[in-house]
Structure 1
Amino acid sequence: WVMAPERSLTGSAIINNDPHVPVYPFPTFWYLCHLQGGSFNIIGMMFPGLPAFGAGYNGEIAWALTNASVDHIDLFIEKLNPENPRQYLYKNEWLELKIREEEIPLKKGESIKVQIRETIHGPIVDGEITGVSIPTGGPDQVYAFKIVEVELGKFLQGYLDMARATNWQEFVEGLKDMHLGPVAWNHIFADKRGNIGYWLSGHCPIRPDNQGWLARKGWTGEQDWLGYVPFNQLPHIYNPKQKYIATANNKNRLDDYPYYLGTEYALSRIQRIDEVLRSKQKFSIEDMKALQLDVVVVSARRIVPILLSDLSDTKDARLKKAVLALKQWQEQGYQASIDSIGTTVYELILNNMVSLSFDDELKKMTFVAGLGGVTMTGLENILDDPNNFWFDDKTTKKIETRKEIVEKASLKTVEYLEKKFGSNPQSWEWGKISHSYFYTPAGFLPITGKRHRIGKFPREGASGTVNNNEGFFLGPLGYLYFGGPTTRMIVDFSDPGHFHFNQTTGNSENIKSPRCANLTKSWVKGEYLTLSMNPEEYEKDALGVLWLRR
């Protein structure tokens, strides 16, 4: 999010970023650096291995990003010729498949050969590729996988131009090239003159029926993509009346926007960010830090009253412990802090409700669906209906309702916590069950891996909090944190040349290096460090100088 000077106590724009990415690998996801040379003088978060800053500050402008959640992929149903499987139907003609063979090397010098078949829409995805039978509408039908076309040269050139831009117009010119890449971003902008802006930048296909959730008929040509949304018609805004702009993987366009871009958006974080930014007129940089570290669970405002209602008449002493923990958490404002008892009870109840509601129908697929957040979203969608059919356990003759599922889930929660931490709820703190670790690839090895890990650390926040904590529940191991903000940045244009940040690890992958875990403590504690563009400041703290000569 970005605040215009009118909303800032410093009288200058303040821009903030904390993109959510896989957290467990180290070195950290973003390569933090100050690049100075030739036409470049920029501090920011680089994509490792690429000459590109995802977010940065060059003294004149600063920008930040979040994923725009654009639907870049479609499945097309293709009809194969039953008399010649090397042909497919397209606009009443049998066309020849493009066929090539790829060899995949295996251990011990062995290999397997895979035949890749392509239609006009893309490669065919079937059992020969996936190893799993994929149902279609008939024996001679297959799916073709279509994805957006990209121009990698322009994509990278756009990043270079963005890094050298000195104003909104030059920044947008860089975005015009950058948006031709394989991913779509919400980009926000600020400059030292007090201007702020937003542009969704991505190669977004135009679909004739404005939907992307159903497979498309490939044989008629009527549902083919119609090109791409023109850059100047992508959602954007400059110096808005409310004097701030915020994004958090949410839907950033009006309902009457003419193009379909996607359907999977986050809601809780943008609700909380918007709530805070509307709470007063002017904000300091300390306010911005506090918002990045905010752990209010917005979804609990709706869900906890439902849980308490279904548990209101319980006589079970164990369930009364859950009720008390949820009521106290409600009074505390649903803060998912490390010492919170209510967060622990709440998260475990929901996790148990997912299993009790969906396992009888989905069986082993419940876990797989949960990886993408499908089951938790599904649970939230049915909670208002106490007699929804998903709550019924198909393995019993009785018809269960939400009330019975809530009671069973709560009982399982208390039994788990009593076994793990004892009968006193004061020992059920969230930080004892929610953890983060940082790994090199070797850190996953069972015996020697411990030498290649940093952690464990108690982790505040939950799914949907601004200080995001996406994790898996692993039974006796508790919750393992795997996704969220690895790097946070704040730039206040009233403080020229300074880039405030924290991040999970240093830039080194060598576990013995002093530059491996040197930044971890500040990230865990929510403390911010400062990088400087000013030579008189950074030269005095330099480790040394490396000269490269021809």
Structure 2
Amino acid sequence: MFKSYPLISRVILVVLLPLLVILIYGVNHLQASLPPLKGQLKAPWLSANVKVYRDQNGVVYLDGSDDQDIFFATGVVHAQDRMWQLELQKRMAQGRLSEVLGRDALGSDIWIRSLGIYGAAEQAWQNLSPEAKKSVTAYVAGINYWIAQQTVYPAEFTLLDIKPQQWQEIDTIAWVKMFALNLAGNMNDEIRNYIAAQSLPEKQLTQLFGDITSKFSIAQYSEFNQQPTLVALENVMRRNSQLQKQFNFGGQYVGSNAWVISGKHSKDNMPILANDPHLGLQIPSYWYALSQQGEHLSAKGMGLVGTPLIIFGQNDHISWGGTNMMADVQDLYFETLNINQKGLYESGSSWQPLGERIEIIEVRADTPELLNKRIKPVKINVRTTERGPLISDIKQSMMHPVSLKWTGLDPDDTSYEAFFKLNYANNWSSFENALSFLVAPALNMLYADTEGNIGYAGAGRIPIRAVGEGVIPLPAGRVNTDWAGYIPYQQMPKLYNPESGIIVSANDGLLFDSYPYFISHAFAPSYRSQRISDLIKNPERLLTAKDMMSIQGDTLDLEVKKLLPLAQQIQPQNEHQRQALELLKSWSGNMSADSQAPSIFIVWQREIRKLLLKDELAGFWNQQGQLDILQDIASTLPLTTVVELLQHPQWCVDSATNSSSDNCQQLINKAFKKALQVLSNQLGEDIAGWNWGELQHTEYAHTPFSHIRVLDGLFERRAPAGGSIHSVNVAASYYDKSQGFVQNFGAGMRQIIVMGDPEQHFYMNSTGQSGNPISEHYDDMVMKFSRVEFERFDAEPSQLAYVELIAGD
């Protein structure tokens, strides 16, 4: 062969063979970055030995006689399995990603530094009890112990030519704040509302936003209604969007599903709790499956990497799960600066000095570094008022800068304490007491115990506003628009052993019916909670964990029924359209991956939105930033609103022809025709090949290598996806011409707990237990998760192989 094909032989010998040798050497070298599975390791920090068991999925079971030793061992296994994730999270919370990722991460760093996440974490640390602090200190010691033990680190460190830095106690508290930031998006809503109120006529506002429009009044704030203000708000929104796109932070209806049923509905005659938190999707997952057995600590479930605690799970007495309350805990304010004396802002009848600090951000040179100039450190001046940081300063200073007030920046934050105490709670009273320490995020927490009780408690600080309901930015200074305090914890919503024996939470407002305090205007529609309740209540038999699994995998979208009747009015023009229409007309709304109807419906409604809203909205602004924001409003309108707009012919007029004959039915027909063209181009002419799972896939993005060709295939993972934004099995996706619909938001893990039975604690992580790409557990749960399969915690881990951490020198 080599004589016959000399060119191929040269390529093999000169290029491919050396690459293969390097690859084999690299993989063998990186094997040393994996955790040991047997043997002993000396750990002088410990007071007594700890056994580290690992099952066939790489899930860890820690067994020791001292709780602090267990927290230390948790730090060890987190570092063993998720070292790059820890490094990334630490740098993200400190605003130091640019040091390793370069100028692409600079916007994120500026934003996090402007918010003052790390400084707020330093303040929060001072408020923790000695016991809570000890747990963090032990965890940090465990992480740093493993960093010091290792000479070979995961591939990301090699490729970026860096080494992991020591973890600090504040890093853990800062990550709790980042978790809270991930769940708080109210400032984005205020910006959207304000720009919409500035840009659109009142009639259109009412049709788009409904009753809430009455709270958009901005006439009395005319001095702030200027172009620099809009530009500043656009910049804030752009920074938020950058964080969301780069790191899958935030998103629409960021939340979860959780429900609990009492023993009267259960075949085992005991409560069953189910939970699947929804966040931006990534590899590795935010979550880490873990069992901890110490002197007093006996918890298992899903921990959050960066903390030593089980965030959602169970101990020997109770189980707990949670969802995002969707509470409005962020407000924006227009501040007034003193034009005669620099550095003062208006506060009531006086002028107060701005808080100021200089932040210096080191930025790595572009790749290849040898061929590019060193980038000078970026210096930013962060200013604050009594309400919070001036977040408009990220781009420019102005006469009326915008400040942010957010519960997550409260100096007396004790949120870590709440999660710490939850792990030790043994009844409803101690569960409630633990949650009284929660500041941010605001959560709906569900409860079950071994005595057969179930309950729900709202937790986290919810502001009581002196003026308004946090719908748009308000002026600060002259008028009292500040917060008047928080809803007292004793008056937060609660349920205990309801007569129905069922509690469902899915980010909607149903648990707050008749509640006297304002919580939010950003609740998710009730489609998911309604579907969950229907599936629980309808069976004429007692329910099992298997039934809960089926519910978590349910892909019926109840919102579909709002628009689907319009398909009945379409007259097919050819056989292709007739086949597609027949599929829609006989379709139940199930967004299953192996069905063609979801593909037709989703693309059709997308085309309706584009035709319906592009002309009506595009004529009312000149700035691209405002255009982007209002187009975002259009793309996320509920289908009920879309259907209502289709009842008004003025929304259906084509601006190119200005013809009233181009009515709404013609628009619907045109959108349907265009949808079939899009699908034919994307998936081919044969409708049988238009399965939703072919058009939509889940993307588990890796930071930073999903953004680098060749490396993306090594680090990123994908799977076919069913579901939609309103199905119980949530799938929120964006459209890409080359890829179809890319799901970047959904359940990050699933968990089902049958109380009183250690054999029935089921779970599945979305990617795998490890964050190390050469580990077999890096992605071994991806397809299992896609198929809604489950593993269970081992009730007898002592039968597994283990590594023993040996105390003493």
- Normalising by the residue count of structure 1, what TM-score does the alignment of the two structures yield? 0.90
Name the CA distance, whole Å, in 2 between partners of 1:378 and 1:334: 16
- Counterpart residue number, 2:717: 454
Asked if the contact 1:369/1:375 (under 8 Å) is kept, the reply is no
The partner residue of 1:505 within 767, 778, 799 is: 767
The partner residue of 1:194 within 435, 449, 452 is: 452
- Counterpart residue number, 2:536: 277
Asked if the contact 1:16/1:490 (under 8 Å) is kept, the reply is yes
Asked if the contact 1:354/1:376 (under 8 Å) is kept, the reply is no
Asked if 1:347 is matched to 2:602, the reply is yes
The partner residue of 2:736 within 458, 468, 474 is: 474
Asked if 1:112 is matched to 2:394, the reply is no
Deviations 1:142-197 (A, max 9, x none): 322111244677321221211111111111111111x12x2111100000111000
SS, match of residue 80 in structure 1 = coil
Amino acid at match of 1:59: D
Give the superposition deviation at 1:405.
Answer: 2.6
Relative to 1, partners in 2 of residues 1:224 and 1:22: Cα closer, same or farther, differing over 3 Å? same
Asked if the contact 1:235/1:252 (under 8 Å) is kept, the reply is no
- Counterpart residue number, 1:292: 552
Give the superposition deviation at 1:221.
Answer: 4.2
The partner residue of 1:164 within 424, 431, 454 is: 424
- Counterpart residue number, 1:51: 308
Quick check: which has more Rg, 1 or 2?
2
- Cα RMSD after superposing both structures: 2.4
Relative to 1, partners in 2 of residues 1:293 and 1:112: Cα closer, same or farther, differing over 3 Å? same
SS, match of residue 406 in structure 1 = helix
Name the CA distance, whole Å, in 2 between partners of 1:199 and 1:372: 34
Relative to 1, partners in 2 of residues 1:417 and 1:374: Cα closer, same or farther, differing over 3 Å? closer
Amino acid at match of 2:550: A
Give the superposition deviation at 1:14.
Answer: 0.5
Asked if 1:493 is matched to 2:759, the reply is no
| Runs (4+) off by over 6 Å | 364-367, 370-373
Give the superposition deviation at 1:444.
Answer: 2.8
Asked if the contact 1:55/1:64 (under 8 Å) is kept, the reply is yes
Structure having the larger proportion of residues in strand: 1
- Counterpart residue number, 1:71: 328
Name the CA distance, whole Å, in 2 between partners of 1:367 and 1:538: 57
When structure 1 is superposed on structure 2, of 57-66 and 203-212 the one drifting more is: 203-212
The partner residue of 2:506 within 222, 231, 248 is: 248
When structure 1 is superposed on structure 2, of 195-204 and 406-415 the one drifting more is: 406-415
Asked if 1:212 is matched to 2:212, the reply is no
Name the CA distance, whole Å, in 1 between partners of 2:641 and 2:767: 37
Asked if 1:431 is matched to 2:693, the reply is yes
- Counterpart residue number, 1:136: none
Give the superposition deviation at 1:8.
Answer: 1.2
Asked if the contact 2:562/2:640 (under 8 Å) is kept, the reply is no
Give the superposition deviation at 1:338.
Answer: 1.4
Give the superposition deviation at 1:56.
Answer: 0.6
**What number of residue pairs does the alignment pair up?**
530
Relative to 1, partners in 2 of residues 1:344 and 1:367: Cα closer, same or farther, differing over 3 Å? farther
Give the superposition deviation at 1:458.
Answer: 1.2
Deviations 1:62-88 (A, max 9, x none): 011111111111111222233334322
When structure 1 is superposed on structure 2, of 56-65 and 350-359 the one drifting more is: 350-359
Matches within 5 A, 1:116-131: 116-126=382-392, 128-130=393-395
When structure 1 is superposed on structure 2, of 289-298 and 261-270 the one drifting more is: 261-270
When structure 1 is superposed on structure 2, of 37-46 and 89-98 the one drifting more is: 89-98
SS, match of residue 283 in structure 2 = coil
Amino acid at match of 2:518: Y
Relative to 1, partners in 2 of residues 1:367 and 1:354: Cα closer, same or farther, differing over 3 Å? farther
Amino acid at match of 1:511: P
SS, match of residue 164 in structure 1 = coil
Name the CA distance, whole Å, in 2 between partners of 1:210 and 1:299: 30
Asked if the contact 1:354/1:379 (under 8 Å) is kept, the reply is no
Amino acid at match of 1:288: M
The partner residue of 1:414 within 656, 676, 679 is: 676
Give the superposition deviation at 1:461.
Answer: 0.9
Relative to 1, partners in 2 of residues 1:60 and 1:472: Cα closer, same or farther, differing over 3 Å? same
Give the superposition deviation at 1:328.
Answer: 2.4
- Counterpart residue number, 1:15: 273
- Counterpart residue number, 1:203: 461
Give the superposition deviation at 1:483.
Answer: 0.9
SS, match of residue 484 in structure 1 = strand
- Counterpart residue number, 2:289: 32
- Counterpart residue number, 1:544: 802
- Counterpart residue number, 2:658: 397
Give the superposition deviation at 1:305.
Answer: 0.6
Asked if the contact 1:59/1:497 (under 8 Å) is kept, the reply is no
Asked if the contact 1:52/1:156 (under 8 Å) is kept, the reply is no
Asked if the contact 2:700/2:744 (under 8 Å) is kept, the reply is no
Name the CA distance, whole Å, in 1 between partners of 2:412 and 2:791: 34
Asked if the contact 2:562/2:639 (under 8 Å) is kept, the reply is no
Name the CA distance, whole Å, in 1 between partners of 2:635 and 2:490: 37
When structure 1 is superposed on structure 2, of 45-54 and 61-70 the one drifting more is: 45-54
Name the CA distance, whole Å, in 2 between partners of 1:366 and 1:356: 19
Asked if the contact 1:11/1:494 (under 8 Å) is kept, the reply is no
Asked if the contact 1:359/1:366 (under 8 Å) is kept, the reply is no
Give the superposition deviation at 1:301.
Answer: 1.4
Relative to 1, partners in 2 of residues 1:215 and 1:263: Cα closer, same or farther, differing over 3 Å? same
The partner residue of 1:336 within 574, 582, 591 is: 591
Name the CA distance, whole Å, in 2 between partners of 1:467 and 1:370: 28
SS, match of residue 19 in structure 1 = strand
Name the CA distance, whole Å, in 2 between partners of 1:255 and 1:389: 36
- Counterpart residue number, 1:3: 261
Amino acid at match of 1:307: A
Asked if the contact 2:467/2:480 (under 8 Å) is kept, the reply is no
Give the superposition deviation at 1:317.
Answer: 4.5
Structure having the larger proportion of residues in helix: 2
- Counterpart residue number, 2:497: 239
Asked if 1:387 is matched to 2:673, the reply is no
When structure 1 is superposed on structure 2, of 87-96 and 210-219 the one drifting more is: 87-96
SS, match of residue 331 in structure 2 = strand
SS, match of residue 16 in structure 1 = strand
Relative to 1, partners in 2 of residues 1:549 and 1:402: Cα closer, same or farther, differing over 3 Å? farther
Asked if the contact 1:206/1:260 (under 8 Å) is kept, the reply is yes
- Counterpart residue number, 1:530: 792
SS, match of residue 383 in structure 1 = helix
Amino acid at match of 2:562: R
Amino acid at match of 1:487: M
- Normalising by the residue count of structure 2, what TM-score does the alignment of the two structures yield? 0.62
Asked if the contact 1:13/1:190 (under 8 Å) is kept, the reply is yes
Give the % identical residues.
25
Name the CA distance, whole Å, in 1 between partners of 2:702 and 2:658: 50
SS, match of residue 240 in structure 1 = coil
Asked if the contact 1:383/1:402 (under 8 Å) is kept, the reply is no
Relative to 1, partners in 2 of residues 1:210 and 1:257: Cα closer, same or farther, differing over 3 Å? farther
Asked if the contact 1:370/1:376 (under 8 Å) is kept, the reply is no
Deviations 1:231-262 (A, max 9, x none): 11111111011111000111144443222211
- Counterpart residue number, 2:353: 96
